[in-house]
Amino acid sequence: MTNRPDSAGSTATVAFDPTERTWVTDTANDTSFAAAPPLDGELLVDEAARHAVATDLGNITTRVPCAVLRPRSAQDIAAMVRFCATHGIPVSTRGAAHTTLGQGLSAGLLIENRSLNRIHSLGPDTAEVDAGILWQDLVDTAFAHSPRLTPPAITGYTSLTVGGTLSVGGLGGLVGALRTGLQVDHVRELEVVTGTGTIERCSPERKPDLFEAVLGGLGQCGIITKAVIDLVPAKERARTYVLGYTDNAAFFQDMNTLIERPEIDHVYAELYPQGTEPSHKLYATTFYDPATPPRNYDPTTPPGEYDPTTPPEDTVATAGLTTEPVVDDTGYLDYVHSIDRLVDGMRETVEWDRLRKPWYDVWLSGAVMQDYVAEVHDTLTPRDIGPYGISLIYPQRRDRITRPLPPLPEANGSPWVYVLDINTVSETPEADPAFVDEMLDRNDRLFARARDEYGAVLYPIGSLRFTPADWRAHYGDRWEAFQAAKNRYDPGAVLTPGPGIFQDG
Ligand SMILES: Cc1cc2nc3c(=O)[nH]c(=O)nc-3n(C[C@H](O)[C@H](O)[C@H](O)COP(=O)(O)OP(=O)(O)OC[C@H]3O[C@@H](n4cnc5c(N)ncnc54)[C@H](O)[C@@H]3O)c2cc1C
């Protein structure tokens, strides 16, 4: 049942029963029920719609919402948030729902934001988009633009929404991590619906407290409905040097060389369980246009002697490394969609969406990374990763990360900061019940030690069971400003209860 006009033009009303705290579809003119506001989109209260959005990619936490909104406009979201704030109904927004411990779930209203997915403008150096659009769609459209454009930071998997990754931080998993900052560093302006149901535009100049509390703010202070995002010229091709290691020290020696090398645009790495060879793999990529000279091109070379299809000089890009790379040269979009193809394949073959994913994701300073990886790698068993999981490392220049959120670890003298992921995935959807508990306990144990011994900070996409006190410690000296923004923009504390950040006030 919806409150959208039906084909006959009449309106089926959905109302909230404030006494029973349930939604009703047959109000029989009972005025004790509060009718939901008129909407352009749909408000669904049927079992199928509610159960379809009761979990996320982690398949660990389940919360069945009492109603689902498929908005057609920011006004729909604003009207329903006002309604929910009046009746004390919690509200969560769902992008692609790829967090893994119920961060975007709610027993109240669930907003399915994917229905707002338009590109409002594109070029020459920005795009204004709805927050429910997938990065994939923005990337493809920007690349098809003339001249070719791209967001400067693109997540490894691109079937994620702009609103979702801007709410967690958005690390450039395949494009941009090294020197561009996070996706939140490339937002010029946002349209946001606050917890009072007010539609606001905010930017570094306009309502900066709201802007800073929403970017990387886990949906606590507002629902992002539109974003103005930086675009930069896109290169045509990606040339990746793939290097394998069995030794942690050699791996870090080469990583430290590659991340400082101007010819290299992006670096990430994979860690494999104990007993696997190689145990570490590095991927260093340079983006280039075949028609323009490589960056290490000698300008004194006479034009006739320069081959315009020459890719970057491999010898320069990989000089002084401890091992020989394998070279993988592809088109830019092929490179950007490589993880999408992998995930799409698993979706078809192993029920990827239903597998359990108790993920561990942390930030660490470059000062401790080598020691931490050596320690963690000693504990990694095949069960810790699973046949469809992966463990990843992303280095990035700390000074390019400019927003107050998400919080980062202390620098400890290093200009580099890393994300380390242990993206554990169960072998089957029906993983033995002990599996998830075992991995959540592992995450608790790993995190406590990483925080206490190495100064690690959570990257909140994964499965760490944080208490309100843990969250307060997580935000550290940013807590006061974050809490002030919460009190100001969501005074009824209805927005995004999933992470439990403000549970005790
Ligand atoms: C295969 C894979 C690869 C990944 N690679 C990367 C990577 O390279 N870099 C990286 O940073 N992350 C990566 N992630 C993690 C990803 O960023 C998070 O899972 C993020 O939550 C995904 O966006 P989403 O659209 O699924 O958001 P959701 O999970 O739907 O939402 C995330 C949180 O934000 C809230 N939210 C959602 N939309 C809005 C909105 N419009 N306004 C306010 N709050 C909102 C939700 O309630 C939830 O709390 C990856 C995940 C997967 C599965």
pLDDT in tens, 133-177: 999 999 999 999 999 999 999 999 999 999 999 999 999 999 998
Q: Which domain holds residue 355?
A: 237-458
Name the residue of 61, 93, 106, 490 to mutate for ligand 1: max ligand atoms within 8 A of Cβ.
93
Cα(332) to ligand 1 centroid in Å equals: 23
Contacts of 371 (CB under 8 A, 6+ apart): 454
**pLDDT attached to residue 349:** 96
Contacts of 498 (CB under 8 A, 6+ apart): 61, 63, 92, 99, 102, 103, 104, 105, 106
**Same domain? 10 vs 133:** no
**Same domain? 192 vs 299:** no
Cα(331) to ligand 1 centroid in Å equals: 26
Question: Looking at residue 165, which CATH number applies to its domain?
Answer: 3.30.465.10
**Beta bridge partners of residue 457, listed in sequence order:** 363
Cα(164) to ligand 1 centroid in Å equals: 4
User: For ligand 1, is residue 350 a contact (CB within 6 Å)?
Assistant: no
Q: What is the DSSP letter of 294?
A: -
Gyration radius (Cα) of the chain, Å? 24
User: For ligand 1, is residue 105 a contact (CB within 6 Å)?
Assistant: no
Name the residue of 461, 471, 489 to mutate for ligand 1: max ligand atoms within 8 A of Cβ.
461
Contacts of 23 (CB under 8 A, 6+ apart): 14, 15, 16, 17, 45, 66, 67
| Residue 345 or 30, more confident | 345
**pLDDT attached to residue 285:** 96
Residue pair 130/141 in contact by the 8 Å Cβ criterion: no
Atom index in ligand 1 nearest the CA of residue 167 equals 34
**Same domain? 259 vs 299:** yes
How many CA atoms lie within 13 Å of 343's alpha carbon, on the beta-carbon side? Answer: 16
pLDDT of 303 above 90 = no
418, 433, 458 — which closes off a domain?
A: 458
Contacts of 420 (CB under 8 A, 6+ apart): 361, 362, 364, 369, 372, 373, 376, 391, 392, 393
Cα(160) to ligand 1 centroid in Å equals: 6
pLDDT of 4 above 60 = no
**Same domain? 264 vs 401:** yes
User: For ligand 1, is residue 164 a contact (CB within 6 Å)?
Assistant: yes
495 belongs to a structural domain = no
Cα(315) to ligand 1 centroid in Å equals: 38
**pLDDT attached to residue 11:** 41
User: For ligand 1, is residue 74 a contact (CB within 6 Å)?
Assistant: no
Question: Looking at residue 65, which CATH number applies to its domain?
Answer: 3.30.43.10
**pLDDT attached to residue 33:** 72
499 belongs to a structural domain = no
**pLDDT attached to residue 463:** 97
User: For ligand 1, is residue 113 a contact (CB within 6 Å)?
Assistant: yes
491 belongs to a structural domain = no
pLDDT of 185 above 70 = yes
**pLDDT attached to residue 26:** 67
Of all protein residues, the one whose alpha carbon is nearest to atom 28 of ligand 1 is 97
pLDDT band at 306 (very low <50, low <70, confident <90, very high): low
209, 233, 257 — which closes off a domain?
A: 233
- Residue whose tokens read 């997580």: 474
Helix (H, G, I), strand (E, B) or coil at 505: coil
User: For ligand 1, is residue 170 a contact (CB within 6 Å)?
Assistant: yes
Per-residue pLDDT tens digits for 459-471: 999 999 999 999 9
- Extract the tokens encoding 453: 């011994």
User: For ligand 1, is residue 401 a contact (CB within 6 Å)?
Assistant: no
Q: What is the DSSP string of 73-128?
A: SHHHHHHHHHHHHHHT--EEEESS---SSSTT--SSEEEEGGG---EEEE-SSEEE
Cα(372) to ligand 1 centroid in Å equals: 26
**Same domain? 318 vs 439:** yes
Calculate the CA 191 to chain-centre distance: 19
User: For ligand 1, is residue 218 a contact (CB within 6 Å)?
Assistant: yes
501 belongs to a structural domain = no
362 belongs to a structural domain = yes
**Same domain? 14 vs 70:** yes
181, 207, 233 — which closes off a domain?
A: 233
pLDDT of 304 above 80 = no
Name the residue of 155, 223, 268, 425 to mutate for ligand 1: max ligand atoms within 8 A of Cβ.
155
**pLDDT attached to residue 308:** 54
**Same domain? 229 vs 241:** no
Q: What is the DSSP string of 277-315?
A: SSSEEEEEEEEE-TTS--TT--TTS-GGG--TT--S-HH
Quote the CA–CA distance of 311 and 294 in Å, as a whole number: 7
Atom index in ligand 1 nearest the CA of residue 92 equals 47
| Per-state percent for the chain, helix, strand, coil, to nearest 5 | 30, 25, 45
Cα(323) to ligand 1 centroid in Å equals: 36
pLDDT band at 309 (very low <50, low <70, confident <90, very high): low
Quote the CA–CA distance of 420 and 269 in Å, as a whole number: 9
**pLDDT attached to residue 505:** 42
**pLDDT attached to residue 25:** 78
Residue type, 362: V
User: For ligand 1, is residue 266 a contact (CB within 6 Å)?
Assistant: no
Q: How many domains does the chain have?
A: 3
Q: What is the pTM of this model?
A: 0.95
Q: Which of 152, 145, 154 is closest to 124 using CA atoms?
A: 145
User: For ligand 1, is residue 461 a contact (CB within 6 Å)?
Assistant: yes
Of 7-16, 67-76, 156-165, 196-205, the range with the lowest mean pLDDT is 7-16
CB atoms within 10 A of CB 366: 23
Q: How many residues does the chain have?
A: 505
**pLDDT attached to residue 7:** 37
Quote the CA–CA distance of 17 and 388 in Å, as a whole number: 45
Residue 324 burial by Cβ neighbours in a 10 Å radius (0-12, 13-18, 19+): exposed
Cα(435) to ligand 1 centroid in Å equals: 24
Quote the CA–CA distance of 111 and 143 in Å, as a whole number: 30
Per-residue pLDDT tens digits for 372-398: 999 999 999 999 999 999 999 999 999
Question: Looking at residue 289, which CATH number applies to its domain?
Answer: 3.40.462.10
pLDDT band at 9 (very low <50, low <70, confident <90, very high): very low
User: For ligand 1, is residue 151 a contact (CB within 6 Å)?
Assistant: no
Atom index in ligand 1 nearest the CA of residue 156 equals 8
**Same domain? 297 vs 372:** yes
User: For ligand 1, is residue 184 a contact (CB within 6 Å)?
Assistant: no
Per-residue pLDDT tens digits for 16-54: 888 878 888 766 666 677 888 999 999 999 999 999 999
**pLDDT attached to residue 231:** 98
**Same domain? 106 vs 124:** no
User: For ligand 1, is residue 195 a contact (CB within 6 Å)?
Assistant: no
Q: Which of 42, 31, 32, 30 is closest to 6 using CA atoms?
A: 42
Quote the CA–CA distance of 407 and 131 in Å, as a whole number: 22
**Same domain? 354 vs 434:** yes
Helix (H, G, I), strand (E, B) or coil at 358: coil
480 belongs to a structural domain = no
Share of the chain above pLDDT 70, in %: 92
**Same domain? 357 vs 324:** yes
**Same domain? 108 vs 129:** no
pLDDT band at 10 (very low <50, low <70, confident <90, very high): very low
298 belongs to a structural domain = yes
Q: Pairing mode, if any, of strands 149-150 and 199-202?
A: unpaired
Cα(14) to ligand 1 centroid in Å equals: 30
CB atoms within 10 A of CB 256: 15
**pLDDT attached to residue 18:** 82
Cα(399) to ligand 1 centroid in Å equals: 23
**b/e string for 444-471 if b means 16 or more Cβ within 10 A?**
eebbeebbeebbbbbbbbbbbebeeeeb
**pLDDT attached to residue 1:** 40
Residue pair 209/482 in contact by the 8 Å Cβ criterion: no
Element holding 28 (H helix, E strand): none
**Beta bridge partners of residue 150, listed in sequence order:** 232
**Beta bridge partners of residue 119, listed in sequence order:** 129
Cα(214) to ligand 1 centroid in Å equals: 14
Cα(416) to ligand 1 centroid in Å equals: 23
User: For ligand 1, is residue 498 a contact (CB within 6 Å)?
Assistant: yes
Cα(324) to ligand 1 centroid in Å equals: 36
| Inter-axis angle of helices 369-379 and 433-454, nearest 10 | 150
Of 1-5, 35-39, 232-236, 408-412, the range with the lowest mean pLDDT is 1-5
Mean residue pLDDT of the chain comes to 92
**pLDDT attached to residue 281:** 98
Cα(98) to ligand 1 centroid in Å equals: 5
User: For ligand 1, is residue 456 a contact (CB within 6 Å)?
Assistant: no
Contacts of 426 (CB under 8 A, 6+ apart): 355, 356, 357, 386, 435, 436
493 belongs to a structural domain = no
Residue 208 dihedral angles phi and psi, to the nearest 5°: -60, -25
